[in-house]
Amino acid sequence: MLNLTRPLNAVAGQRNGARIFKYIIVIDLEATCYTRTVHEHEIIEFPAVLLNLVTGKIEAEFRQYVTPLMNPQLTRFCTELTGIRQEQVNAGVSLSNCLLLFDKWLKTVLAARNLFLPRTNPNDPTGNVAFATWTNWDLGECLSKDCARNQIRKPAYFDLWIDVKSIYMNFYKRCSDNLSEALSNMGLIFEGREHCGLDDSRNLAKMIVRMFQDGARFEITNQ
């Protein structure tokens, strides 16, 4: 797996006496898109990377292409933006199956490390792992709307997340519209392809590692 940067000095699970997450699960969804601005987004790529905040390493990855139901034909604009091809979504699964596959992956990687998401363990309601995204769009908008549209019950664990963009802006007192610009402001290089969900997730993980080394605190931002 990708070795992101130098090891971290923080004591596992603590910083300045405050509880911190040991692990972060970075998610960056890709969705159908068009040149016009107002339209509904359907998820086409669902990736996740499990980042060990203490070592700065990615320990596991998940990726599933999803077949959009409403507009199964990708626009050329969408393929050019995301790099996702028609045959990849044709060979994908429905959103509900994707969420089942993700749930299976999630349970396996969490159980192997004794990790708990916030509010999933009565003995440890804070949890020691949390989801992180760039902006609130992925879990606050895209996934919620796509689940509602498909009449899928969204797992409650998706209700809490860390918006890395807001932490980045508050911590560095800097504004960046997109992930690659933020990385570049930090002297980091975006590796891979922008708007490829898995590459975006890996690069956001790299950014989180640097922010953690710089002293940023990662807490749930939407409660």
Q: Catalytic annotation on 195?
A: yes
Contacts (CB under 6 A) with ligand AMP, residues 160-219: 195, 200
Q: Which is nearer to Mg ion, 195 or 206 (CB)?
A: 195
Q: In angstroms, give the least distance from the CB of 199 to Mg ion.
A: 8
Per CB under 5 A, contacts with Mg ion among 164-223 are 195, 200
* Residue found under tokens 């939407």: 222
Q: Which residue is nearest to ligand AMP (CB)?
A: 33
Catalytic residue among 42, 45, 195, 219: 195
Residue 87 burial (C-beta neighbours within 10 Å; 0-12, 13-18, 19+): exposed
Query: Which one of 15, 22, 41, 202 is in contact with ligand AMP (CB under 6 A)?
Result: 41
Interaction between residue 146 and ligand AMP (CB under 6 A): no
- Mark 200-211 as b/e (b = at least 16 C-beta within 10 Å): bbbbbbbbbbbb
- Gap between the Cα atoms of 43 and 145, Å rounded: 10
Residue with tokens 């045959």: 87
Our CB check for ligand AMP shows the closer of 51 and 84 to be 84
Query: Looking at 24-32, 109-117, 204-212, 214-222, which segment touches ligand AMP (CB under 6 A)?
Result: 24-32
Query: In this structure, are residues 192 and 203 in contact, taking their beta carbons and an 8 Å threshold?
Result: yes
The footprint of ligand AMP on residues 78-107 (CB under 6 A) is 81-82
Nearer to Mg ion, 28 or 163 (CB): 28
* Spatial distance between the Cα atoms of 105 and 90, rounded to a whole number of angstroms: 22
Segment lying near ligand AMP (by CB under 6 A), choices 5-13, 28-36, 89-97, 114-122: 28-36
End-to-end CA distance of the chain: 32
Helix, strand, coil in percent for the chain, rounding step 5: 35, 20, 45
Is 40 tagged catalytic?
no
187: number of Cβ within 10 Å: 7
Choose which of 31, 48, 58, 95 interacts with ligand AMP (CB under 6 A): 31
Helix axes 197-214, 164-172, angle to 10 degrees: 30
User: Annotated catalytic residue: which of 30, 42, 45, 61?
Assistant: 30
The contact set with ligand AMP (CB under 6 A) reads 28, 30-31, 33, 41, 81-82, 195, 200
The contact set with Mg ion (CB under 5 A) reads 28, 195, 200
